[in-house]
């Protein structure tokens, strides 16, 4: 029987103690491309005539580094992971940063007090509303992401066996709002054997061709970024050194 991923990651996060296994900064690619998330959300909200803050789903989010980054910029973020320990650390970190931790269902309540003019969702803004963080322990091989519910979905180094990965990518397509953005970075198969992070099985890694096949849906150009690259990664103690990754910014075509 394969190991329980929640139990495996509980052990790893607990072993890190008060430190964050992958560091306390957002993933470099997510940080560099955050403006795409805010711009996509602002356009969607303006088109809908809504004053609601954007909703972002962070998959395989562990200790919450990407989710907290986005919540601090005014997004309502649901962090989903199989590890209860990882999400407990995310919750404690959020409270230290005075970011509200709310039940997941509260992220879907459009109240005037939570509203924000889409004009403030600008990458150059110096002040922003504080968002909120919801936490969900879930098995991504079974959990439903919802239908057309998210302005953006983020996943960094969330690696799964091929059948689960196919399901996750199908759920991403289904769960994004039209015009919504999927922003992700994974190790690609060229990473195998480098010892700088990632799975020990190349089948768990992701290529640009696979992302193109799984996400394109017959459209010619839904990708704003799709590239395999090498870069130096410094993320806590677990990701260190020159690494082979694939980066994607995929926008679900508007209906």
- Cα–Cα distance, 214 to 210 (Å, whole number): 6
Which of 216, 235, 239 shows the shortest CA–CA distance to 226?
216
What is the H or E stretch that residue 178 is in? strand 176-187
Over residues 238-244, the mean pLDDT reads: 95
pLDDT band at 120 (very low <50, low <70, confident <90, very high): very low
Over residues 63-69, the mean pLDDT reads: 97
Give me the pLDDT at residue 53, please: 79
Is a pLDDT exceeding 70 seen at residue 40? Answer: no
Q: Which is more confidently placed, 152 or 130?
A: 152
Is a pLDDT exceeding 50 seen at residue 141? Answer: yes
Is a pLDDT exceeding 90 seen at residue 139? Answer: yes
Over residues 208-223, the mean pLDDT reads: 82
Q: Is the pTM of this model over 0.75?
A: yes
Which string of b and e fits 215-229 if b means at least 16 CB within 10 Å?
A: bbeeeeebbeebebe
In 10 A of CB 43, how many CB atoms?
15
Specify the CATH superfamily of domain 5-251. Answer: Vaccinia Virus protein VP39 (3.40.50.150)
Q: Which is more confidently placed, 143 or 114?
A: 143
Over residues 164-177, the mean pLDDT reads: 95
Cα-based distances in Å from 2 to 5, 6, 203: 9, 12, 15
Give me the pLDDT at residue 221, please: 62
Give me the pLDDT at residue 59, please: 98
Give me the pLDDT at residue 247, please: 98
Over residues 102-131, the mean pLDDT reads: 60
Is a pLDDT exceeding 80 seen at residue 123? Answer: no
Give me the pLDDT at residue 62, please: 96
Give me the pLDDT at residue 216, please: 82
């Amino acid at each position: 029987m394969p190991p329980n991923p929640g139990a495996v990651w509980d052990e790893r996060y607990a072993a890190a103690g008060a430190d964050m296994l992958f560091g306390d900064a957002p993933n470099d690619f997510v940080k560099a491309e955050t403006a795409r998330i805010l711009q996509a959300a602002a356009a969607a909200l303006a088109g809908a005539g809504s004053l609601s803050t954007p909703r972002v789903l962070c998959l395989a989010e562990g200790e919450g580094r990407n989710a907290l980054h986005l919540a601090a910029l005014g997004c309502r973020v649901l962090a989903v992971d199989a590890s209860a320990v990882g999400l407990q650390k995310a919750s404690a970190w959020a409270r230290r940063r005075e970011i509200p931790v709310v039940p997941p269902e509260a992220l879907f309540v459009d109240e005037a007090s939570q509203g924000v003019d889409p004009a403030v969702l600008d990458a150059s803004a110096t002040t922003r509303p504080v968002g909120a963080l919801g936490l969900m322990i879930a098995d991504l091989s079974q959990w439903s992401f919802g239908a057309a519910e998210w302005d953006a979905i983020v996943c960094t180094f969330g690696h799964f066996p091929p059948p689960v990965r196919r399901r996750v990518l199908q759920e991403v397509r289904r769960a994004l709002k039209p015009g919504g953005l999927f922003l992700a970075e994974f190790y690609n198969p060229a990473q195998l054997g480098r010892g700088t992070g990632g799975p020990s099985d190349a089948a768990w890694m992701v290529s640009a061709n696979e992302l193109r096949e799984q996400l394109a849906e017959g459209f010619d150009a839904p990708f704003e970024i799709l590239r395999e690259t090498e870069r130096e990664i410094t993320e806590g103690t677990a990701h260190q050194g020159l690494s082979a990754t694939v980066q994607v910014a995929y926008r679900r075509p508007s209906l």
